[in-house]
Amino acid sequence: MVEQFLRTLMRTTDVAVTGLFSPAAVAAVGLADLYARLPLRIGLGLGSGVIALSSQDTGADATANRDEAITQAILLGAVAGIPFVLFGYGLGRWAIAVLGAESEVARMGGLYLAIIFATTPARHIALVAARSIQGAGDTRTPMYVNGVSNALNIVGTVVLGLGLGPAPTLEIVGVGIATAVGNVFSAVALSAAIYGAWTPAGFVRPTEWTITRQLLAISAPRIVEGLVTTVLEFPFNSILLFFGTEVNAAYQIGRRVYQQLTGPLSRGYRTGTSIVVGQTLGEGDPAGARYNGWAAAALGVATVGSLGAVLFVGAEWFVSFFTDDPATRGYAAAFAAAYAVAAPVTVLYVVLAGALTSGSDTTTPFIGRITGMFFGMVGVSYVFGIRLGYGLPAVYASIVVYYLWATIYVVVGFYRGGWIERTQSMMDERGSTPGED
């Protein structure tokens, strides 16, 4: 949770600093962030696969298989980042303009996108390495490394963005450079931690195709889920731009406030649940794994739900830190309130999706999230907001509908328990079941 708080604080600082420039700058970073989520989803997808195998094999004491999965996942992540480097360099500005952004927003967003995409391989390595170490039971090393990385990022954003001291005032370019430096630092430090003796994990020469196949089988639905949801963000942001640049900027701010307040807990619970459930499955205790998943979900609803109530009451006060534009501030408070209403069901989805992932089931969260986003978020906002003329209230409601449906689908999938049999079958196949040679 500490690690996620610092990472979210870094992104919040980006939005806050760019908010000092103009609403157009906030919109530029927000639109560029849509594309930045594409490589992020690949890294998180591979991370989901490796944390499942790493936690299961740690629980089963199959360390050779664990290190094989870790090595393969990191190599796959590095290679998968190369196309994004080329995209950012050649098509960055066009990518922002095609969403319907104004020329100045497209110019700033294109510059920012080119800079952060240049370090996509490093970002993938950092994401996968962190999940690898966490799956082995060490959540402190990623926290230390990413804490330093995010601190460098935050300081760099403020100094380079605002031109403090002898530094030049680079504005949005400075924000991008700070992010790039943080990505490279995390990748190098976490790789060194795995290579050395700081963590239980280690590198080996990859030779096992069974592990490669299982890693991709678990990661693929998570990657596709992330990519499709990111793609669906594009029409949703176009709908927001239909109502004006200020509305789009307000969405970025309202969403960022919600993520800063509740995201660290939700993501921390997801990671912790993945580790505990995965290791319990590896030890051969499916009943304990099921109990741990429900217990973590209950804890998440109680804590994050309470924070959602705080956000709902203080929405206007929270968003006032990000903009002094009256129109943007009003819209942002409404978006923050919508996310606050959805907070209890959102954390329930996140935690149980983490439990299912460690149980080698990434398909159920994939279906729940994609259908919820397509029919709930995009469908409701377009049909009711634009076609039927209900306007922004329909857009706010679409956020709640999206997460409510996704949560219902995941709760049913976790309750049915097919993920337990799937995990046992995959452990048998790769020779990680306790008692096997």
pLDDT in tens, 299-315: 999 999 999 999 999 99
Mean per-residue pLDDT for 16-20? 78
User: What average pLDDT score do residues 137-143 get?
Assistant: 90
Helix and strand numbers, DSSP H then E, in the chain: 17, 0
8 Å CB contact between 347 and 265 = yes
Cα(339)–Cα(337) distance, integer angstroms: 5
> Mean pLDDT over all residues of the chain?
89
Residue 23, pLDDT score:
78
Examine residue 435 and state whether it is found in any structural domain, yes or no. no
- 25-34 pLDDT, tens digit each: 878 888 888 8
Distance of CA 412 to the CA centre of its chain: 23
**How sure is the predictor about 41, in pLDDT bands with cuts at 50, 70 and 90?**
confident
The pLDDT of residue 67 is above 60: yes
What is the predicted pLDDT for the residue at 435?
58
Whether residue 294 is contained in a domain is answered as yes
- Asked if the model's pLDDT at residue 76 lies above 70, the reply is yes
Instruction: Count Cβ atoms within 10 A of the Cβ of residue 332 and give its class: 0-12 exposed, 13-18 middle, 19 or more buried.
Output: buried
Is 204 within the bounds of a domain? yes
Eight-class DSSP state of 381: I
Q: 337 or 169: which carries more pLDDT confidence? A: 337
Q: What span, in angstroms and rounded, lies between the C-alpha atoms of 229 and 224?
A: 8
The answer to whether the pTM exceeds 0.75 is yes
In a domain, 436, yes or no: no
Query: Could you tell me if residue 152 is inside a domain?
Result: yes
| Local confidence band at 365 (pLDDT 50, 70, 90 cut-offs) | very high
- How many Cα atoms within 13 Å fall on the side-chain side of residue 433? 11
Q: Does some domain include residue 95?
A: yes
3-class state of residue 122 by DSSP? helix
Q: In sequence order, what are the residues at sequence separation of 6 or more whose Cβ sits closer than 8 angstroms to the Cβ of residue 188?
A: 122
At 221-230, the pLDDT tens digits run 988 888 888 7
| Domain extent for 102 | 2-430
Angstrom distance (rounded) from CA 374 to CA 277: 30
Q: What share of the chain is helix, strand, coil (3-state, %, to 5)?
A: 85, 0, 15
- Alpha-helix residue ranges (DSSP H) falling in 81-196: 82-97, 103-117, 120-135, 140-162, 172-195
Q: Which residues contact 132 (CB under 8 A, 6 or more apart)?
A: 47, 50, 51, 54, 69, 70, 73, 74, 194, 201
Measuring CA to CA, which residue among 109, 50, 116 is closest to residue 248? 109
* Distance set, CA 104 to CA 25, 27, 172, 376 (Å): 9, 10, 12, 32
Q: What angle do CA 361, 363, 367 make, to 5 degrees?
A: 145
Q: How far apart are CA 268 and CA 143, in angstroms?
A: 11
How many structural domains compose the chain?
Answer: 1
**Local structure of 290: helix, strand or coil:** helix
Query: Could you tell me if residue 156 is inside a domain?
Result: yes
